[in-house]
Amino acid sequence: MDSNKKESKINPKKDFDKNFQQYPLVSIITPTFNHEKFIATCIESVLKQTYPHWEIIIIDDGSTDRTREIIESYHDKRIIYNRQENLGIWKLKETYNKALSMSHGDLIAILEGDDAWPRYKLEEQIKTFQNNDDVIFSWGRKNTINDENKIIAFDLHSLNPFKSMTQEEITRMLIRANFIQPCTVMIEKKTLLSLGGFIQNEKTPYVDYPTFLELSLKGRFYPSDRVLGYWRKHKAQITTEKETEMNEGFMASLDFYENLDLSRKDQLRFNAEDKLKFRNEIIRDQIAVSARLALIKENWNEAIKYYKTIFKNGSLKIRVQSILGIISAYLKKDLEWFAVITCKPKIRGKSAEWDTTLFKEDDEFSIAFKIQFQFIKLLSALKPGKYADPEYLIENDLTN
């Protein structure tokens, strides 16, 4: 047996209710703001956990809707509710660290008020920590959901290759892009506290990416290939201001790298050009969404302008989409039919919300996705380890 591993102490669910005090307490940090439509789903997904030794610390950032009323309708002593005056996203670090200071657990999980978990999430990650003494950070795959709790996208690639990577390799990949969804993580509290808690760069309206980067220098990251979170994708609208904030935050990881000592840089050997190329891909994808919205809103000339912008240096996928988009603009049609046949999220008319193309109204797989699913199974058989196990590709037990 690997010297870094020990036998799991997790017992079947039937033993938890009687003996759960012997297991690690997980403190769940849940910031929320005006999430009246989603907070019940969030809380219910925690209450359904097969691992019951948890506390959820909900910090309400001054919601003006029914969020408080809904939270206070739950009567479970493990739910800790705290309301504060609105600080906003640029002081998100203060909100997260307030929750951290209130926590009693040895392990920290993140679940924002509009996201949710599958029922096995905590149990799966407790096993990871109990079986691997050197792990300080665990994460998993996500399913992307819309405002109606429907799965609209999934992570195709397996996370298993990360298990054999060195921590330097993982840090290098993390500098290039944040591939870790916060709602899937679990963090060793004492390591997080050694950083001074959650970190927020002045250029970033979020805490996850800068915190994960610093944690990657402190110890071993270890993934699960199961779906460990449902991340909610909101409206397809992207404003110029928001796009600027996202891009500035994206590039903040270069500052992280530049501030490392020379020996650490020699270990990582990061190529900044990789980061810039990836950023440009993200920007082109954002513009492509704006183009689709322009088609839906019948702004034909605006759509053509967007598609011409991304065609020049785009990938083959982007160029094909651009050509189809320009043709659609001239025909005065939208491009959402293309999302349907490729099983990508579809924009729901002028509301700009996202619709699923994976399922029909009765929650059965769509015909297009049935075909794609068989192709995924073939890929998994031909290249084992590269793609997620089809059995665990779509896992959904959300409360509607």
> Taking a C-beta distance cutoff of 8 angstroms, is the pair 318, 354 a contact?
no
In this prediction, residue 4 carries a pLDDT of 39
- pLDDT, one tens digit per residue, over 206-235 is 999 999 999 999 999 999 999 999 999 988
Radius of gyration of the chain (CA): 22
Residues 6+ apart with CB under 8 A from 288: 306, 307, 310, 318, 321, 322, 325
The CATH topology of domain 25-232 is: Spore Coat Polysaccharide Biosynthesis Protein SpsA; Chain A (3.90.550)
- pLDDT, one tens digit per residue, over 351-384 is 999 999 999 887 788 999 999 999 999 988 998 8
Ranges for all domains in the chain classified under CATH 3.90.550.10 = 25-232
> Taking a C-beta distance cutoff of 8 angstroms, is the pair 40, 70 a contact?
yes
pLDDT higher than threshold 90 for residue 47: yes
- pLDDT, one tens digit per residue, over 15-31 is 555 565 678 999 999 99
Please tell me the pTM assigned to this model. 0.91
* Rounded Cα gap, residues 318 and 298, in angstroms: 21
Give the model's confidence band at 204: pLDDT under 50 very low, under 70 low, under 90 confident, else very high: confident
> Taking a C-beta distance cutoff of 8 angstroms, is the pair 30, 111 a contact?
yes
pLDDT higher than threshold 70 for residue 241: no
Give the model's confidence band at 12: pLDDT under 50 very low, under 70 low, under 90 confident, else very high: very low
Beta-ladder partners of 322: none
Report the 10 Å Cβ neighbour count for 82.
12
Beta-ladder partners of 347: 354
